[in-house]
Amino acid sequence: MTEKIKILIADDHPILREGIKTVLELKGDFEIVGEADSGFKACELVPRLNPDIVLMDIRMEKMDGIKASRNIKLLYPDTKILLLTMHDDADYILEALKIGVEGYILKMSDMDKVVNAIKLIMENETYFDPKITKSVATMTTDILKNSKRNEFLEKYELTSRETEIAGLMVDGLSTKQIAEKLNVSISTVSNHRRHVFIKLKVTKLSELISFAIHEGVFIFKEE
């Protein structure tokens, strides 16, 4: 029998916590090991309950989700974190990317989407909701003109294929999904991904997204 994924839910709205708990338990693949109504409580419970992943609301009293995530990642780096966010949490998201959380998703997303995000993260992938990434980007950068985009590509010596794959990664596609979309092998995508990380001097997807937001590339194409 496959071991269930242990989840800690941190949200200061009891009705929302109960709703998430009920749906996830019905799926059969998950065990809700605890609930927290604040970031402070989540930090207390992680060492006691040893969850595989924390579903962390960003906006909570008695320590928000960003501060709690920072503390958890510092003390228990193997604990994975999926942030539950709203569209207007842009400043928080930029900070979350620096911390190194494994993902973020809109708080009111369909639960099937939440389940998919959890499973991807537990397979050592990441899940960054492209709607939120795009929302953050619109607040921090303008759409690049083609000439400036070309200057950027020349500066970092990215090939057209590397640029394409980097863009799909930022858009939230997994390595497997990119391979299927481009009709290439997973190993080919992995090689391009490695080259992108080396050239842009990033080590993980969250850093790539943060880089893309600040540079204004990959996310937007002029219509």
The pLDDT tens digits for 9-40 are 999 999 889 999 999 999 889 999 999 999 99
pLDDT range class, residue 223, cuts 50, 70, 90:
very low
Q: 1.10.10.10, 3.30.110.40, 2.160.10.10, 1.10.12.10: which CATH number matches 141-215?
A: 1.10.10.10
Q: Is the pTM value of this prediction over 0.85? A: no
Non-local (6+) Cβ contacts of 139 within 8 A are 90
| CATH superfamily label, 5-130 | Response regulator (3.40.50.2300)
Query: Where do you find CATH 3.40.50.2300 in the chain?
Result: 5-130
Query: Where do you find CATH 1.10.10.10 in the chain?
Result: 141-215
Non-local (6+) Cβ contacts of 109 within 8 A are 129
pLDDT mean over 109-119:
90
At 117-167, the pLDDT tens digits run 999 899 888 888 877 776 665 554 444 445 556 666 677 888 878 888 887
pLDDT number for residue 157: 84
pLDDT > 90? residue 83: yes
Q: Give me 106's structure tokens.
A: 């809109």
Non-local (6+) Cβ contacts of 66 within 8 A are 58, 92, 95, 96, 99
Q: CA 21 → CA 9, 10, 110, 128, distances in Å?
A: 8, 11, 14, 22
pLDDT range class, residue 220, cuts 50, 70, 90:
very low
pLDDT number for residue 147: 52
Short-list 208, 202, 206, CA closest to 69: 206
Q: How far is CA 21 from the centre of its chain?
A: 21
DSSP 3-state of 128? strand
pLDDT range class, residue 2, cuts 50, 70, 90:
confident
Q: CA 66 → CA 38, 45, 83, 85, 98, distances in Å?
A: 11, 16, 9, 11, 10
